[in-house]
Structure 1
Amino acid sequence: MDYLAATKQKKYLMYISQNYSYAILRPLQSEILAHGGQVRWFLEGDNVTPDFLASDELSLTSIEQIKKWCPDVVFAPANIIPTFIPGLKVAIFHGFDAGKLNSKGQNDHFKIRGCFDLYCTQGPNTTHPFQQLEKKHDFFKVVETGWPTLDPFFNSNTKNQYINTNDPRKTLLICSTFSRKLSLAPKLYEQIKSFSEQGKWRILMQFHPKMPSELVAKYQALENNNLTFIETDNVLPLLQAADIMLCDTSSILLMFILQRKPVVTFCNQNPGRHLIDITDPDKVEAAIDYALTYPAQLMSDIDEFCQQLHPYHDGLSSQRVLAAANELLLTNPKLKAKPLNLIRNFKMRKKLNYWRW
């Protein structure tokens, strides 16, 4: 059966709570609309900006409206989603597994919270662990599809506003996660300030949306002809514009490395041969210079890593996600009931101010 054709006249809800989720789900939205489906957006909480909705994108503003519209499928790049809304719940992921560990030493990327019917995984190194969890729990399915977010990475021909063809310098992209324990931002300020003054590289900077405002302001004050601080809901053009990245344990480095470009990390929680990891702030500059030589062994290790992370370069991951969701919707396999999640659902009802049953 052509499960893409089954999209016609079906309803798909994009459930988001962060601005970066727009870029994650828009390639999937394009596929749905191209195959005759309907799309609505629901923006949960204060961390997502309604102004980022395009003029032709339609939204629902309450749980009551969601229930009335009654979506067939709900896509969410999040860890949790209310189970009391209608529709097949599909986890898309908001990033790659960067190896971050919680306070208990556990990797939250593989934590099952009982919210989803389908997990669409990005590549073998996440598919295999989720398949083991599928066997253990038996209330969800796992399909390896690739990540819709990256479709424009592999088929975009649009002009990139961050590329400056008049500047011959190499472009360094600096990104950081928001956790004070993991973030390079408070630890490498003096080094980055020096980089911005010496002008060896053209520097672009982008932080996680949850970065403390005082740190954001501190780095924004460094802006000059050598350094540009950027806030955006779509990081893909930034990644494409850079020759090299300086990062910490943020999952954005995994998106960057898929271009087969080197990444220098500072105190990465999960370092490997594919990264140049530095723990001494005074050695960061030398590491960047070394990475820009594109050493043969490093590039080979990067390629091997990327085959496990996300082996798809065809720009068709959105099609595979949509087909997988439609197949599960139409075949309706017998799965165990999801956990009641009484406490989590109570918290979600309180957050969304929804108490009807």
Structure 2
Amino acid sequence: MAHRYLLFAELPYAFEIMRPLQDAARARGDDVCWFLNGPSPSFLRAGERQLRLIQEVEQFDPHAVLVPGNEVPPFFPGLKVQVFHGFGIEKKGHFRIRGMFDLFCTFGPLTTKPFRELASQHGWFRVVETGWPKVDPLFREPTVEEKNDDRHILYAPTFSPSLTSAPALAGTIADIVARRDWRWTLKFHPKMADEFAAPLRAIQSDKFHISTDSSLLPLLKEADVMLTDTSSAAAEFMLLHKPVIAFRNRAPGPHLLNLNEPGQLEAALETLLEGDDPTREAREHYAQAMHPYHDGRSSERILDAVEDMLRNGYGELKRKPLSPLRRLKYRRALR
């Protein structure tokens, strides 16, 4: 039986997360549509179908709505499936239950165990460990090693004012760029405030590039070291067996090189870029616990979990909370 899937996107990074799901669903002969609550339709590619109105969603009548964000219109038809927008388990709210989803598709043991405990507590949703669809291409598309002596740093700060490293590190990075031959790529979070981004945008050098591509995965493959803070991109980078420097990480550990002062940055970069990696063993253990699936088939496992729930029903699950305020919020926003 062919199924109908609605991909619900509220931020540009949703496309990179859900396109592997779209590909997997289409390979099964399923029908896929997008609903964009925020991103411009220009993000859609040729052949991708957009539904613009609530009435169009009701007519499409999806079997399931796949969501990488925290919320979904409760009145949309179909099973509501949380596929998550990042590995940021350290961030406030990652394990918050908002009463909107029937199925949580988790990455690995670090997320599965807490969500299963929450499922037992609340009783209205299921949890299936599947892996994360965004990283399927990391394992399906081999990384081409460039024969290049340049050392390449990817700087991927988060946006939250309380967590972002951008204000503290901008001056230090500018100084390092001016003196060292290392190549830099900066990837801003789409929610980064202009006041934090401006000092970094002011850095002028042919060794310093600001990526405007919506896709992060190619940048992960190209870089030798990642510099970040409490961004979930760190875990994505670790899946490629590469080291991470974090500035004032909220949950520091031996799997990353955590710094507390800007003055420590240059020495830390030099250590890792020269191949001295004290975090390697702990990083491998962390990456395995976060996302143990290296076959590039997380999307297929998510669809299998959805189909199983559609086939077997909700069973002993209780009804979800009615969420009247969220219903009203989306009714007003989407009318």
Q: Distance in 2 between matches of 1:109 and 1:164?
A: 36
Task: Tell me the residue number matched to 1:61.
Answer: 52
Residues 97 and 126 of structure 1 are in contact (CA less than 8 Å); yes or no, is this contact kept in structure 2? no
Give how far 1:234 is off. 1.1
Unaligned residue ranges in structure 1 (runs of 5+): 1-7, 102-107
- Counterpart of 2:246, as a letter, is T
Structure 2 residue corresponding to 1:262, chosen from 222, 243, 247: 243
Structure 2 residue corresponding to 1:202, chosen from 179, 183, 203: 183
State the Cα deviation string for residues 214-261 of structure 1 (Å, max 9, x = none): 433432231421100012221000011000011000111111111111
After the TM superposition, which of the residue ranges 331-340 and 110-119 deviates more from structure 2? 331-340
Q: Distance in 2 between matches of 1:269 and 1:318?
A: 30
Q: Distance in 1 between matches of 2:223 and 2:55?
A: 44
Task: Tell me the residue number matched to 2:324.
Answer: 342
- Counterpart of 1:266, as a letter, is F
Task: Tell me the residue number matched to 1:23.
Answer: 16
Q: How does 1:149-228 map to 2 (within 5 A)?
A: 149-157=134-142, 165=147, 167-228=148-209
Residues 180 and 186 of structure 1 are in contact (CA less than 8 Å); yes or no, is this contact kept in structure 2? no
Q: Distance in 2 between matches of 1:56 and 1:183?
A: 37
Residues 118 and 140 of structure 1 are in contact (CA less than 8 Å); yes or no, is this contact kept in structure 2? yes
- Counterpart of 1:331, as a letter, is N
Q: Distance in 1 between matches of 2:289 and 2:13?
A: 24
After the TM superposition, which of the residue ranges 291-300 and 228-237 deviates more from structure 2? 291-300
Identical columns (%): 41
Give how far 1:158 is off. 8.2
Task: Tell me the residue number matched to 1:242.
Answer: 223
TM-score, length-normalised on structure 2? Answer: 0.96
Task: Tell me the residue number matched to 1:251.
Answer: 232
Question: What is the aligned length?
Answer: 334
Q: Distance in 2 between matches of 1:98 and 1:194?
A: 32
Q: Distance in 2 between matches of 1:215 and 1:111?
A: 28
After the TM superposition, which of the residue ranges 167-176 and 22-31 deviates more from structure 2? 167-176
Residues 271 and 277 of structure 2 are in contact (CA less than 8 Å); yes or no, is this contact kept in structure 1? no
Q: How does 1:1-357 map to 2 (within 5 A)?
A: 8-45=1-38, 48-101=39-92, 108-157=93-142, 165=147, 167-295=148-276, 297-334=278-315, 335-353=317-335
- Counterpart of 2:212, as a letter, is E
Give how far 1:293 is off. 4.1
- Counterpart of 2:36, as a letter, is L
Residues 223 and 229 of structure 1 are in contact (CA less than 8 Å); yes or no, is this contact kept in structure 2? no
Give how far 1:49 is off. 2.3
**Quick one: structure 1 residues 121 and 157, their matched pair in 2 at CA, closer, same or farther if it must change by over 3 Å?**
same
State the Cα deviation string for residues 169-206 of structure 1 (Å, max 9, x = none): 11000011111221111111111111221233110000
Give how far 1:157 is off. 4.4
Give how far 1:287 is off. 1.1
Q: Distance in 1 between matches of 2:146 and 2:133?
A: 28
Residues 171 and 243 of structure 1 are in contact (CA less than 8 Å); yes or no, is this contact kept in structure 2? yes
Q: Distance in 1 between matches of 2:209 and 2:253?
A: 29
Give the secondary structure class of the aligned counterpart of 2:86.
coil
- Counterpart of 1:58, as a letter, is R
Give the secondary structure class of the aligned counterpart of 2:8.
strand
Residues 16 and 78 of structure 1 are in contact (CA less than 8 Å); yes or no, is this contact kept in structure 2? yes
Residues 89 and 95 of structure 2 are in contact (CA less than 8 Å); yes or no, is this contact kept in structure 1? no
